Structure 1
Amino acid sequence: MVKDGLRLNITIDSRAMNFFQREAPQKLNEARKRAVEAAGMVWIVLLARVCNCSRQTSLGGVL
């Protein structure tokens, strides 16, 4: 997946993938979305640390 220059490779066990595609495809889509959101949050924190930013963030926390 690529969004705004951030490349993300998410893998899932094929047996788990088959199970969720068959039994609960909406949960699989939700898990994908949340994995991308979590990676984005980590990216923001890492970028802020590299830039030595210690100001208040739009996420409501201090980095």
Structure 2
Amino acid sequence: MAHRILVVDDDADVRDMVCRALTASGDEAIPAAGGRQAVEQALNPLNTNPTKEIACPRR
């Protein structure tokens, strides 16, 4: 079963790499470059699955 996964990272190379890996494993990756885009994607009615933060650096 494919999952729709929101990938949030401000580093475009990391974001693209994770999205490619998820897509290759059969999942759908939804990229977001930062918090604002992530919230917009999370509020999109097409993206109704809960999300899980895997890692986020503290500043």
TM-score, normalised relative to structure 2: 0.30
More strand by share: 2
Which structure would you say has the larger RCO, counting Cα contacts within 8 Å and 6 or more residues apart? Answer: 2
Q: Which has the higher helix share?
A: 1
